[in-house]
Every structure is written in structure tokens, then in C-alpha cells.
Chain A
Amino acid sequence: MEKLTSGQPAAQNPRPKYGGLYNAWVTAREAFWIALEALTTHKLRSFLTLLGVVIATTTLIVVMSVINGMNLYIADHIANLGTNTFILSQFKWAQGSEAWLKARQRNRPIRMEDYKALKEYVHGYKSIGATASGNRVTAKYGSRTLYDISLTGVTPSMIDIGQQKVAYGRYITESDYLHSAPVCFIGQDLVDKFFPNVEPLGKEVRISGGLFRVIGVAERIGTTFGQSQDSFVQIPLTTYQRLFMARPSINVSVQAWSSAQMLPLEDEVRSLMRVRRHLRYNQEDTFGINASETIMSLWQRLTSSIFAVTIGVVAVFMVVGGIVIMNIMLASVTERTHEIGIRKSLGARRRDILTQFVIESAVMAGAGGLIGVILAVLISQIVERLFTSAVPLSGIVVGLILSTAVGLFFGIYPASKAAKLDPIEALRMEG
């Protein structure tokens, strides 16, 4: 008991620690646990309170995930013309409808002669190939039929340039090409349908009336936006000309040695084509040169507008969520007036009470953000199965920071109300 002697003169006992950063940290930590406890005691109320923030965070992250997933997908599957490859074709892709209408009148198809000339006179490419795609065709093997197969005539070099990889067998060779042999290189869908338990190599498949011997099978690619990329048949371009179309419109793929070489090579191809078509300096190209960037830039223009709309929606949800949180915090301040009075009587300053309630609000909103993130990850996984989605780390970070910031902001008003309470009045309120 002798320790508990009453007050020494004040001057002898200064408390320099009082009011320091440390103190704020202690208050913050205490407020954090109080907030968690308040959240878990009133589960339904908490859920309803946090709904706005949860929906906002979920929306934000899901949209970010889908766009991110689609970006990866496009880069991987659609815009992937092959490493350092550009394509010469009749039209430039991804241009506005007006430009396209003009190009439709002006541009002429690329022909085999163009390909041969390019192959001959352009220097420094790593590889050059041509493809001719016709209509969708029907393939038959025995009694089985597959509709809507893409049929492409290719040069042997396309194996180096295109997306296909040989799973087994071989690709179309120079010999097949020279002799316009009736052979085909098939995608996995045909294997699944025609040769589920049989060796496909050497079998003859009937395509649009002609018989083709299977010489090779491609590795599975998968689906793009729900469209199978494995239902294709490739045949030598010469065979294509012999059986289907003598003078097809073709696309020429040119592969450079490095990305730095891409532009000079494109220029070389462009000059040669302009010379071949006798274009004057003031005339526009009557053909298109397309690289991966062409598709990506179009895509990014599209997604940026989707994203802008999303930001608007998320902002509205966040504000609504923030106001709901503010409302609940105001109720909480009223409910806990007595507690505030007790704390003040024990020496809590305004800023201690302010910190406590602001942090409580931030923790609450942050918890909503966390639920939103978890929900978004789950939704994103479902979307990934059906479509495409990849949760970006930045999305999670932004979601958590944004929701916490909303809680901080909308907690300021209720917290300052709590901080300004008169201790006597507050103590008189029986909780």
C-alpha cells in the first residue's frame, strides 16, 4: 500500500511520452480490436452496412480481372501472330468503319505472285509464309462428320511462323508443297471426333469431297471466347489452289529476326508492294500491313472505355457505401456516448476519441473491402472457367486501399462528433 501515496507536485513528474506517436499507435490498435469486435457481434448489421463497399470492391476487381484476363488472352491467342511477325493482307485490321469502306473500294487482294516476289526480293527476313483461307468446310471420316471446320492452304514455312506446333506426325513439307500432295495436318478436334482410339496418321479424311491423308496432328490450343481453336485442317497451299481455288486471296506472314528489325522489314515490304502496284507517292497503300500492336491498340481503346464506365459505377457504390458507414458510425457514437464519457473522464483527449472512431470506421470499410476481394477472387475463378479472367495484384491492392480510404473519409464526421462530446453530458447518458 505504501506505493500508493497521493500526488507528488506536478512539476516533479512530467510525462513526456504523453501525446506522442506511440500513444496514437496504442489508440489505433485498441480501436482496431474494438472495431473487429463490433463487427463480429452484430453480424447482420455489419453485413448490411458493408454491402455497398463490398459490391464496389467486388465490381472493381472483377472488371479489372476480366479485362486483365482478356488482355492476356488477346495477347496470347488473338494478337499472337508469332514472334516478331507481321502479316501482309488485303486490308489493314482494326480501323474505323469509314476508313474501311474506302479501303474496300481501293484495296486489292494479295496474290501468290506477290508472295513469290516478296520471297525473292525482300532481304533479311527470318521466315516468310503464305496462307489462304476459304469457307468453312465439312470433314468426314467413315460415318462420322464434323461441320464448320476451317480449311487453310499453307506454305511449309508456316510451321516456323504460325501458332501451330506438331504434336506427332509431321507438318506439310516442301515435297508436299511442290507436288501439291493430298495430305493434311489436323487439329485436335478432328482427332477427338474421328480417331478417339485410333492412330490418325495415314488415315484418309474426306474434306469437301476430296480425300486427304493425315500426316500430322497439332498440339491442342484450346478455346478463345468459347470458340474452339482446334477445329482446323491445313493442307499445302498448292493443293488448295489445285482443288479449291486457283487464284486465292492470300495473307503473307513475314517473320523478322528481332523486334528492332520489324519496322525496317515492314517498310521494305511496303515499298516493294507499292512498286508492284505502281502507286504514286500521294496514293495510299492498297494493302494492309498488320502487326500484333494493331490488334492490341484497338483492344486497349475498347477496354479503356469499359474501364472508365466501371470507375464511375465503383465511385457511386463507394460513396453510397461510405454514407451507409457514416450513418452506422453516427448511430454507434450515439449508442456509445456513455463509453465516450468514461474514456474522457479517464483522460482521453479529443484526438484520442477521434482516432478511435476514424480507425473503427476504416477497419469496418477495410473489412468490407477484404470481403469484396475474397468475393471477387471467387467470382473471377468461376468466370475463368466460362470465359477468361485473371485477378491482377494491383486490383487487390487498389480495392483494399480504396475501401479503407472511404472508411477513413466517411468516419471523420461521426468521429469528430464523438470527440466534441461534453464529458459531463456523455457520462450522464446511461448506456
Chain B
Amino acid sequence: MESQTVASQLRESPAPPDNIIILAQDLWKIYDMGAIKVDALCGLSFSIRRGEYVAIMGPSGSGKSTLMNLIGCLDTPTHGEYWLNGRLVSQLTDDELAYIRNKEIGFVFQTFNLLPRATALHNVELPLIYNGTPPAERLARAEEALRMVDLGDRIHHKPNELSGGQRQRVAIARALVNHPSIILADEPTGNLDSTTGEEIMALFDSLHQSGNTIVLVTHEHDIAAHAHRVIHIRDGRVDRDEPLE
């Protein structure tokens, strides 16, 4: 995989500087539906620096979800380059993408996406299981991550024994446990009431202050307002890219 990346770097443009954690250049995603071709992304470009707090906004159908899948390494673009943490990931195989997802990305989903029958601790452990962390270290790190989100006393609870906000905090602990390059949150407050939503956003704020790079995908302005920069997407292109106060 390393050699392939090197080879790709020779063919493509050189790697971005070290402080650029995400570099998207001319990303295209074309869905081939047989008779018609749907362009979900049409030559989208942007970059995100290490430690930034960015919100990606856009109406439904704007290509927001497609972009999120690309950023999250769940999918690869049809054309274009996507650099994540100094690595060209736009042309990797499934298993190589799995490795990147495990190491570089901490997902926080709208629907939490916890394993329903597993305890909070086991849910947080999962990413560590998939990179072969020894059990003792795994347990210690999972517990630490849960303590970090104030769930130290709930580690043996199953998701259905936790409130929505607590579930989302378990998901955040799971996203943090592998020390990823970016935390990618997709409508993290979409399934929560506004008070709990504010608590979760406060947690994201403090995570950002401690140095994490956060990419927030949302359509709510209140939520996007927590970020320091908003990228507006429309029709598969960057519509506006503006800093917030």
C-alpha cells in the first residue's frame, strides 16, 4: 500500500503540505444509473487545515452526503484527488480504505450507529479490535475515552439503557478512541432535543479546543454556527466557503 501511494504521488500532483489535513481537488462522483448518469459531485475542490472546525452545509440533493462518504473514506471519487493526512486515498482498495477509516476517521452519525446488543464499553472498543490493539490496552483506552465524555459510570450499559444524548456521547468516545486525524460528524444532533443537542455541541467545541480537527455535516444553521468556517455545497460544487466569527 505504501509503495502504491508513492507511485500515485509520482503520477499525480505532489503531496500537500503537512498542515493540510484534507485536500480535495476536482472531485467528481458520477452515478451510472444505466440509461442516465447522475453527477453528484461536479469538480469540487477545497482544503481543510489541521485543527480546523469546519461545517459543510447544503440543501438535500446538493451532494452533501456523497461528499461526506468521500471524506469518510466510505467511497472513492470517480475522478479527482482526495488527500487525507498526507496520503492519497482516492484510489485505494476496499481493505485499504478500511484501514484508513479505522486509523484516520472518527465517525459520529445522526442515528448513533451503536451495536444494540453490545455494552458501551464494547462499542467503544470496536475500532481498537479491528486494528489489533492488545486487550488490556484496548480496555484501558476505551474506558478512558468513555470517562472523557462523562460516561465513566455507564460503561457496562447497553445502548437501550442510555438516553439519546448518552448514546451520542458513546459514539463520540468511539470516534475518539483511535486518535483519528479528523472527527467526521453527520448531523450529530439530528435525533436529539435542542438542550441535549447543545450539550453535544459543547462537547464538540471542547474537543476542538483540545486540538481535534472536526468536520460537521449539517443543514441546521444553529449547529453550523459552532464551527469556525462553513463550506456551502450546491449542485455538487462549492457554493460559498466563508469563515465565521
Q: Which residues of A contact B (CB under 8 A)?
A: 1-7, 9-11, 13, 15, 17-20, 22-23, 26-27, 30, 37, 338-339, 341-352, 423-424, 427, 430-431
Contact = CB atoms under 8 A, between A and B. Distances in A.
B74 interface: yes
A18 B210 contact: no
Given A7-B21, A347-B99, A347-B102, A27 B176 contact: no
B65 to A, nearest CB: 9
A346 B117 CA distance: 17
Given A27-B129, A339-B115, A346 B207 contact: no
Contact of A10 (B85, B127, B135): B85
B101 interface: yes
Given A6-B179, A37-B117, A18 B132 contact: yes
B95 A9 contact: no
Contact of A345 (B18, B74, B144, B206): B74
Interface stretch (B32-40, B103-111, B229-237): B103-111
Contacts of B134: 22
Interface in B175-223: 176, 178-183, 206-207, 209-213
Contacts, number: 127
Contacts of A345: 72, 74, 101, 107, 113
B: contact size bracket: 35 or more
B103 A4 contact: no
Q: Which of A15, A17, A338, A345 has the most CB of B within 10 A?
A: A345
Contacts of A20: 132
23 contacts: A1-B206, A4-B211, A5-B211, A6-B51, A6-B179, A6-B211, A7-B21, A7-B50, A7-B104, A9-B18, A15-B132, A17-B133, A18-B132, A22-B132, A22-B134, A23-B131, A345-B101, A347-B98, A349-B95, A350-B94, A352-B98, A424-B69, A424-B74
Interface in B118-133: 126-127, 129-133
B44 interface: no
Contacts of B182: 6-7
A427 B65 CA distance: 12
B158 interface: no
B87 A10 contact: yes
B173 to A, nearest CB: 10
Contacts of B98: 344, 347-350, 352
Q: Which of A11, A343, A347, A427 has the most CB of B within 10 A?
A: A347
Contacts of A2: 210-211
Nearest to B116: A431
B82 to A, nearest CB: 14
B148 A18 contact: no
Q: Which of A3, A5, A30, A346 has the most CB of B within 10 A?
A: A346
Contacts of B180: 6-7
A349 B107 contact: no
Contacts of B133: 17
Nearest to B75: A424
Given A15-B132, A344-B101, A346-B101, 16 more contacts: A4-B148, A4-B176, A4-B210, A6-B179, A6-B183, A10-B85, A17-B132, A19-B132, A338-B113, A339-B115, A344-B74, A346-B127, A347-B127, A348-B130, A349-B99, A352-B98
